[in-house]
Amino acid sequence: MEEYEKAIRERLSKDRMRHVLAVRDCAAELAALHGVEQRDAAVAGLLHDYARDIPADQMLSMARARGLVSCSVEEKVPLLLHGPLGAQLIKEDLGIDNPQVMEAVALHTLGRPAMGRLAQLIYIADLIAPGRDFPSVERLRKIARDDLDRALLECFASTIGYCLQKFKLIHPQTIDAWNYYVVRK
Ligand SMILES: [Fe+2]
């Protein structure tokens, strides 16, 4: 774990590093509460933003080279690729091949229908970890302790609502995830 922390510290700004450490701890706590493997949660939390500080043009070309670009929204907002690209890079750079951890890193920004438990948990932890500050964050923190499925839906609502309010593009994968989990509720 220390080796991973060193590797990501070299890639991220101070503020971003503070964020990933907060997500690591939040994810480990949620994992303990919900019966998810705690070490996997901590590793995925720590590494979820591994590719986050790569400049947009480089992000796009690195993702293209790995066949990770699947949608025109990603070409317009290359930042959205930092999840899938990060999952690939932790494999290439750090030798991490745990499929749950890779899935969690890959999906932490966009989500997807039928996410694994760890991926759900990291998606939520990224949004509610200490340092995040938006009107409903305390409510979301409480829901996340009680009910992970409910929290996931609330987190999608929060993310999509934010995009609508700010006139930002919404990735179709996030809409698919929303529809999937609403039907399942
Ligand atoms: Fe991220």
Cα 147 to ligand 1 centroid, rounded to whole Å? 23
Average model confidence (pLDDT) across the chain = 97
- The pLDDT of residue 117 is 98
Cα 106 to ligand 1 centroid, rounded to whole Å? 9
Q: What is the dihedral of CA 127, 128, 134, 140, to 10 degrees?
A: 110
Cα 126 to ligand 1 centroid, rounded to whole Å? 7
- The pLDDT of residue 80 is 98
- Indicate the pTM of the whole model: 0.96
Alpha carbons 36 and 123: distance in angstroms, whole number: 14
- The pLDDT of residue 185 is 86
- The pLDDT of residue 62 is 98
Which residues lie at CB < 5 A from ion ligand 1? 49
Please count the residues of the chain: 185
Cα 114 to ligand 1 centroid, rounded to whole Å? 20
- The pLDDT of residue 13 is 97
User: What is 2-184's CATH number?
Assistant: 1.10.3210.10
Overall average pLDDT of the 40-45 stretch: 98
Kindly give the residue spans of alpha helices, DSSP state H, lying in the chain: 2-9, 14-34, 38-47, 56-65, 72-76, 82-94, 99-107, 117-128, 137-146, 148-165, 172-184
Domain ranges of the chain: 2-184
- The pLDDT of residue 147 is 96
Cα 34 to ligand 1 centroid, rounded to whole Å? 22
On the question of pLDDT at 41 being above 90, the answer is yes
On the question of pLDDT at 144 being above 90, the answer is yes
Overall average pLDDT of the 150-159 stretch: 97
- The pLDDT of residue 91 is 98
Alpha carbons 44 and 176: distance in angstroms, whole number: 23
Overall average pLDDT of the 18-28 stretch: 98
Lowest mean pLDDT among 76-80, 108-112, 120-124, 134-138: 134-138
Per-residue confidence band for 184, with pLDDT thresholds at 50, 70 and 90? very high
